Structure 1
Amino acid sequence: MVVRWLQDVVNLVQRLLFEPSQMLKVGFLCLLAESFINVLIVEKVKYTEIDWKAYMDEVEGFINGTYDYTQLKGETGPLVYPSGFVYVFTGLYYITNQGANIKLAQYLFGVLYLVFYGLIVLILKKTEAVPPFALLFFTFASYRVHSIFALRLFNDPVAMLFLYLAIYFFIQKKWFIGCAIFSFAVSIKMNIMLFSPGLLFILMVEEGFIQTCIYISLCGTIQLLLGLPFLLENPYGYIKMSFDLGRQFFFKWTVNYRFLPENVFLSRYFHICLLAVHIGLLIAVFMLRWRKLTKPLDAKSILLILFSSNFIGIACARSLHYQFYIWYYHTLPALFFSTKLPVPLVMLMLGCIELCWNTYPSTVLSSSVLQICHLIGAVALLLPPRTEKRKIS
């Protein structure tokens, strides 16, 4: 009797961990755990001020009637995010008593994380891209991600929340609302544009050239409307400050290129080389993987195209800062498990990436290991997937 009971328990655990059909059950349990973890973090771990005060200073200028983007500044420097950021954090400014109620802001970001996590569960359930045990990795394996939300209050997770909401609609092929939400995510932080090459390919395949142009126009119109108060005041200043692709990063904060001499890191030629590699890898993944997918695209293919587009951009980024981990953390299992990389190597890579992002300050070793993992992942994404059954002539 006892042996049979134990065997039933083992079978149940195996199903919960490895059968995609069990994703919602595991997700519900993980959300309960996340609720407790986030409260524990807010109550027991010391808050560290980095950008929150600067965010509040920046939106306070807007609230006081300053629409010239070049005049909106915080204690860490000028405002460098598009207008959606201003509107979202203006709301947080009022809710948190002009930014003074830090504890309330932390709890709001804790709730944000639960919604964020719920979206991840729904997306992975819909696509069956990874087994449910990946959720345990998300919940228990990353101090850094929880810190980005509840202890640092960065704008990156807000942008990524809307990005995942857009993806949720994309995998259901609701392109209009998905593109509208995607554009709003871009208006909070520009890193969302790393998904755009994949999204462009998906729209061209699914909707054709004319309809794709309509969706691009929709995204542009949303950006125009959101930025209108600032464009009317100082159009050049708004575009330059919020969409500055040439912005220089400080070497002391880099997570991925600590192994380089500082003069090389700051070199314009190095940046041009990274851009060339980025474009080359996008062309390669298009030729070797994306265009070989069966049309119409299924939910899993849509997810992997978007995630791989973003991953290539991150692997070729000029500099990664600690809050940027949220840009791809929840995409990594789906990406790596879709390749022919052996499962032990995938687990090792996920562990190494996690350790690298938790090494502060970054070291020559940590940044080298991180970029090696990125390189392995990028090469693996160019090769045929674990089960290549989606061929077309």
Structure 2
Amino acid sequence: MFDVVIVGAGPTGLWLAGELRLGGASVVVLETRPARDENSKALTIHPRTIEVLDCRGVVEPFLAEGLRIPNGHFGGLPDRMDFSVLDTPYPFTLALPQARTEELLQRRAVELGAVIRRGCRVTGMAPSGVELADGEVVAGRYVVGCDGTRSTVREAAGIDFPGTDATTWGWLGDVVLDSPPGRGFANVAGPRGGLMVVPLPGGVHRIVGGDPGSTRPGELTFDELRTTVQAIAGTDYGMRDPRWLSRFGNATRQAAVYRSGTVLLAGDAAHMHFPTGGVGMNVGIQDAHNLGWKLAAVVTGRADDALLDTYHAERHPVGADLLRHTRAQTALMTAYSPEGQALRAVVSGLIASAPDMSRELAERLSGLDVAYATGRRVPEQRLPDGGTLFARLRGGGHVETEAGLVRPDGHLA
């Protein structure tokens, strides 16, 4: 029997596996897909997540391979938030395909001793763990659902997932561009819709956006993408050779509880939203960062089971705030009417002219503003013995600082 069975080998599940092994827990990760999905939903790693990676000593390959972007958008507005003012060693986002992020996180988890099993479809809960499609029972003292918005674990545990259904849809295409925008980036918005163009490795660009006609689900065709981009931007950028086309909705839901007995939820299994700002993967990894040290402490006997209740108490409000912000950004992104365009112009102008507003939005988007009852996250600092806080946290234990005792997840204890 494993201490913990994790269902889902996305970024959340893989980071959690590494955290559990760091804390001494035995863990197996079960993933339905036989191989890693090479189509990357997420591209953006935010400053707080970069700090998390540094606090475990694995940040270097991400910094080496990721494209550094020193600002961020709110709701696709043209005036961007300046990240250089943020109190962090990493005042930028990193653009890195999710497939590569998963590869790096899996490497860490396996090196620490986690067991990764692919091609294992979980169909329900068993008295001592989970049951697979072939009837095998994988035993574990605790089960964590990191298995996405359609979470089998959440449904099997009977955890409610209240919220709202989709009313609008966005679209994306990973394509080759013969006439890409200058520097490879573009942000175009107007009454016909809005889009962003971002370069990806391998000579591919991602075009992602929405338009007034995006009010229905269904398969996105290459001709539809090209026609829509032409209408919005006045050019199709010479797009050809589509690698991946997708459509996504703004259904917004949050699990009523993040813990039900020996079952816990993290990442998209706990919260579902429109992917505005590229924050979803980041919040999932930060869920795992909060849960990992606690669950490891419980299963190894270093802490009472009641410690796990603080996971819901601390992370559920973060998820609720995530949903509020993504809804607000969705409203701005889909404001195609003349009144909506005026609203976008006013808010965009405030971001450009009101530094305090811009900084607060940037802190929220980046994850640096998260605070629990014990206190805010503690920024990087030099310790009295000459070491640094982030380096000292790499062992996964508590660290004494002048500000007080810092938990393994970087918040005051």
Compute the TM-score of the two structures, normalised by the length of structure 1: 0.27
Of Structure 1 and Structure 2, which has the larger fraction of its residues in helix? 1
TM-score, reference length from structure 2:
0.26
Higher relative contact order at CA 8 Å, sep ≥6: structure 1 or structure 2? Answer: 2
